[in-house]
């Protein structure tokens, strides 16, 4: 039985229908509950479960899920994005600092939140919340990336490349410094450290 996963749902095809089941519910043996030749109405009636969606068109079923009931359980959809894990719950996306570990988002909000209600319930400055995944990732990239110093590349023209708080630093190998303990203005005075807002510009400085 072919299976795919979309927006927190497992989708299988059996007979002439497609069945979507929430990942949180685990495995369901559809073939034990319906017949191969059932139409949508018959299959839905036999299942008697609002958490199993039935359709005869896979793309149409996926579109319905995306627009109406995505990610019915909290799901990490991108791990290790510039120091953050990105999670989805319902129609809201969250950027979670990796250093903070499991923040138990599902115990604080539900899958029915909007961006506004999720922010109000979480009240956590270390969690970035947005109803748009693209906007969330752009915010992380331009404002919040690497909440703690993280080495991204080693020995680039005798420099180590470090990301920290939306900036990129090239630190001469052998220089011992804690970026989170030094003011940015002071770093500008150190000959063996370069900084830039993006990685390309930084590498141009040390060529």
Q: What is the pLDDT of residues 107-137, one digit of tens each?
A: 999 999 999 999 999 998 889 999 999 999 9
Q: How confident is the model at residue 101 (pLDDT cuts 50, 70, 90)?
A: confident
What's the whole-number average pLDDT of the chain? 92
Predicted local confidence at residue 191, as pLDDT: 83
| The model's pTM | 0.83
What pLDDT, on a 0 to 100 scale, did the predictor assign at position 3?
A: 84
Confidence band for 176, pLDDT divided at 50, 70 and 90: confident
- Please report the pLDDT score of residue 1 as a whole number: 62
CA distances from 63 to 18, 69, 88, 99, 205 (A): 13, 10, 17, 35, 46
Give me the pLDDT at residue 181, please.
Answer: 76
Q: Measure the CA–CA gap between 131 and 138, rounded to whole angstroms.
A: 13
Residue 145 has pLDDT above 70, yes or no: yes
Q: Which residues contact 61 (CB under 8 A, 6 or more apart)?
A: 11, 18, 20, 53, 55
Percent of the chain exceeding pLDDT 90 equals 73
Name 130's bridge partners.
Answer: 93
Query: Can you give the chain as a three-state secondary structure string?
Result: CCEEEECCEEEEEECCEEEEEEHHHCCCCHHHCCCCCCCHHHHHHHHCCCCEEEECCHHHHHHHHHHHCCCCCCEEEEEEECCEEEEEECCEEEEEEHHHCCCCHHHCCCCCCCHHHHHHHHCCCCEEEECCHHHHHHHHHHHHCCCCCEEEEEEECCEEEEEECCEEEEEECCCCCCHHHCCHHHHCCCCCEEEECCHHHHHHHCC
């Amino acid at each position: 039985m072919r299976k795919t996963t979309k927006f927190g749902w497992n989708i299988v095809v059996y007979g002439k229908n497609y069945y979507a089941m929430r990942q949180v519910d685990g495995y369901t043996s559809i073939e034990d509950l319906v017949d191969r030749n059932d139409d949508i109405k018959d299959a839905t009636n036999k299942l008697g479960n609002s958490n199993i969606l039935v359709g005869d068109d896979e793309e149409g079923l996926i579109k319905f899920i995306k627009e109406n009931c995505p990610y019915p359980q909290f799901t990490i959809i991108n791990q290790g994005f510039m120091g953050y894990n990105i999670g989805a719950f319902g129609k809201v996306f969250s950027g979670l600092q990796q250093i903070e570990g499991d923040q138990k988002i599902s115990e604080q909000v539900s899958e029915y939140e909007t961006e506004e209600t999720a922010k109000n319930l979480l009240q956590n400055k270390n969690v970035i919340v947005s109803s748009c995944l693209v906007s969330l990732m752009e915010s992380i990239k331009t404002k919040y990336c690497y909440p703690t110093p993280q080495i991204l590349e080693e020995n680039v023209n005798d420099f180590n490349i470090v990301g920290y708080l939306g900036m990129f630093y090239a630190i001469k190998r052998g220089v011992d410094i804690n970026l989170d303990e030094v003011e940015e203005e002071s770093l500008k005075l150190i000959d063996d450290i370069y900084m830039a807002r993006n990685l390309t510009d930084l590498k141009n400085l040390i060529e």
